[in-house]
Chains A and B, each alone.
Chain A
Amino acid sequence: MNTIAVIDYGMGNLHSAAKALEHVAPNARVVVTNDPQVIADSDRVVLPGVGAIRDCIAEMKACGVDNIVADTLGQKPMMGICVGMQALMEFSTENGGADCLGHLPGKVTFFADEEPVQAQHLKVPHMGWNQVAQLDHPMWAGIENHSRFYFVHSYFVRTPQRELVVGTCNYGVEFDVALSQENLFAVQFHPEKSHTAGLQLLKNFVEWDGKL
């Protein structure tokens, strides 16, 4: 049986992600857990996250999720969502500056610090449905390019290693909303809240062999 572990580190709403996975994969077993053994035995792993980055990283370290993530990367398909994506980067300017897990190069910065965002009086958080420009990747199968996904975040990711980028978005500034490295696929938006396009992405993840 296909077992999907949704990593629980005590932050935010993991139920949305779990419920959406159950919806697209009725024959899979979806477990919300931070048990290293359960995660090690699972076929694929989702790293969700909402809230402030410093608290997220602190909670991850407190329950050993940082080590679990390090052990999982490269071993099996893994999907990071929202703060779960940001946590994989090197550094965030949130909370006066916070070190992240450092698995992907690049940092996380505040929309409101960007000159074009200020000049256009854009509201922060970036909240709602925005278009994602896709770059070739099997996870986008069956999803039209420039489909809209639901975002809610005040900080955004940018990586200098452009070959990792598989999706971008524009909100005053252009930023990276989907990154892929080996069998990792990480997104800034919430596929579990993005209706048809989001559910298709989760379905693709459930079926993804982790290869390009």
Chain B
Amino acid sequence: MGLAKRIIPCLDVENGRVVKGVQFVDIRDAGDPVEVAIRYNEQGADEITFLDITASHEGRDTTVHTVERMASEVFIPLTVGGGIRTCEDIRRMLNAGADKVSINSAAVYHPEFVAEAAGRFGSQCIVVAIDAKSVSQPGAAPRWEIFTHGGRKPTGIDAVEWAVKMTELGAGEILLTSMDQDGVKNGYDLGVTRAISDAVNVPVIASGGVGNLDHLVDGVIKGGADAVLAASIFHFNEYSVPEAKQYMAERGIEMRL
């Protein structure tokens, strides 16, 4: 017996509401984030990830209040991401009750920010989010690149090399989202998940594309992920967290039941 693999329901939050899009468009409303988080907490989720996709500054203040309310009711780890660009942003979120922050675009434009943040707050609370897309050429070795702006903007950066660099700068965890798969429910991109999980020595969270419970199992067993993140299968009650945990445990994965 030892460390359990984690199930992390993800809340994409815009202007104080949980939303879920298919490949970042076609948004459906999935409720009040605090109520949703309480439900997952009661169901035995291992962590909660809160991704703020609000664009406006006024919306940002709403996010801080939502995180505060959530942290008073939910006693499992809480990661907040979306728009984290400065150490001041991190301090605000940690003070509001987040345990970790997830840095995405700011890491791409200013990699030294990851080092600064890890030095100031500790690697344990710095998650680097990587949005990767396959750019493999037919017949060539598989290759993935980093994309920003919700998968629209290519950067030319190799995803595996990038993940290694981020951990060298102090990232304590990698949140890997496959942009080809996100919202389409065909399962995680196991190739990039395995490649990054083998390349780095910090935990990797697989994200993007979960449509059924076998996808969660594959993320751990074939992808080598330490944690699996999913949104819509839980939000719309297709599966519950205990059901998912039981299913994974029956396939030999160590879980907190």
- A residues near B, CB below 8 A? 12-13, 15-16, 19-20, 22-23, 50-52, 112, 121, 123-131, 146, 148, 150-154, 170-171, 190, 192-195, 198-199
Q: A155 to chain B: closest CB distance in Å?
A: 11
A84–B13 CA distance with the chains assembled, in angstroms: 34
B203 to chain A: which residues have CB within 8 Å?
Answer: 123, 125, 127-128
- Of B17-25, B31-39, B93-101, the stretch lying at the interface with chain A is B93-101
Can you show 5 pairs from A to B with CB atoms below 8 A apart? Answer: A16-B97, A127-B173, A129-B46, A171-B3, A192-B75
A51 near B121 with CB under 8 A, answer yes
A13 near B124 with CB under 8 A, answer no
A15 to chain B: which residues have CB within 8 Å?
Answer: 71, 95-97
B6 to chain A: which residues have CB within 8 Å?
Answer: 128-129
Quick check: is B72 within 8 A (CB to CB) of the other chain?
A: yes
Quick check: is B41 within 8 A (CB to CB) of the other chain?
A: yes
Quick check: is B227 within 8 A (CB to CB) of the other chain?
A: yes
Q: Which of chain A's residues has its CB closest to B95's CB?
A: A15
Q: Which of chain B's residues has its CB closest to A50's CB?
A: B122
A124–B44 CA distance with the chains assembled, in angstroms: 24
> In the complex, given contacts A131-B1, A193-B99, what are 9 additional A-B residue pairs having Cβ atoms less than 8 angstroms apart?
A13-B94, A13-B99, A121-B201, A123-B201, A124-B201, A128-B4, A129-B3, A129-B4, A195-B41
A150–B76 CA distance with the chains assembled, in angstroms: 8
B95 to chain A: which residues have CB within 8 Å?
Answer: 13, 15
Quick check: is B191 within 8 A (CB to CB) of the other chain?
A: no
A125 near B4 with CB under 8 A, answer no
Quick check: is B256 within 8 A (CB to CB) of the other chain?
A: yes
* Number of residues from B at the complex interface, CB < 8 A: 33
Quick check: is B229 within 8 A (CB to CB) of the other chain?
A: no
Mask for B88-109, Cβ within 8 A of A = 1, else 0? 0000001111110000000000
Quick check: is B77 within 8 A (CB to CB) of the other chain?
A: yes
A190 to chain B: which residues have CB within 8 Å?
Answer: 77
Which among A13, A154, A198 is the interface contact of B123 at CB below 8 angstroms? A154
Interface residues of B in 29-76 (CB under 8 A from A): 41, 44, 46, 71-72, 75-76
A152 near B124 with CB under 8 A, answer yes
Quick check: is B2 within 8 A (CB to CB) of the other chain?
A: yes
A154–B172 CA distance with the chains assembled, in angstroms: 10
Quick check: is B230 within 8 A (CB to CB) of the other chain?
A: no
Q: Which of chain A's residues has its CB closest to B257's CB?
A: A148
A126 near B3 with CB under 8 A, answer yes
A150 to chain B: which residues have CB within 8 Å?
Answer: 76-77
A187–B5 CA distance with the chains assembled, in angstroms: 22
Which among B3, B75, B122 is the interface contact of A52 at CB below 8 angstroms? B122
A51–B117 CA distance with the chains assembled, in angstroms: 11
Which among B4, B121, B201 is the interface contact of A12 at CB below 8 angstroms? B121
A154 near B41 with CB under 8 A, answer no
B44 to chain A: which residues have CB within 8 Å?
Answer: 195
A152 to chain B: which residues have CB within 8 Å?
Answer: 77, 99, 124, 172
Tell me which of A23, A121, A152 has the highest count of chain B C-beta atoms within 10 A of its own C-beta.
A152
Quick check: is B195 within 8 A (CB to CB) of the other chain?
A: no
Q: A149 to chain B: closest CB distance in Å?
A: 10
Quick check: is B202 within 8 A (CB to CB) of the other chain?
A: yes
B123 to chain A: which residues have CB within 8 Å?
Answer: 125, 154
A16–B97 CA distance with the chains assembled, in angstroms: 6
A19 to chain B: which residues have CB within 8 Å?
Answer: 71-72, 97
Quick check: is B226 within 8 A (CB to CB) of the other chain?
A: yes
Which among A50, A151, A170 is the interface contact of B125 at CB below 8 angstroms? A50
Interface residues of B in 196-252 (CB under 8 A from A): 201-203, 226-227
Interface residues of B in 120-142 (CB under 8 A from A): 121-125
B99 to chain A: which residues have CB within 8 Å?
Answer: 13, 16, 152, 193
A127 near B75 with CB under 8 A, answer no
Indicate whether A23 sits within 8 Å of B97 (C-beta atoms), given known contacts A124-B202, A171-B2: no
A193 near B124 with CB under 8 A, answer no
A150–B256 CA distance with the chains assembled, in angstroms: 10
Indicate whether A125 sits within 8 Å of B172 (C-beta atoms), given known contacts A16-B99, A51-B122: yes
A12–B97 CA distance with the chains assembled, in angstroms: 10
B202 to chain A: which residues have CB within 8 Å?
Answer: 123-125
Indicate whether A12 sits within 8 Å of B3 (C-beta atoms), given known contacts A19-B97, A150-B77: no
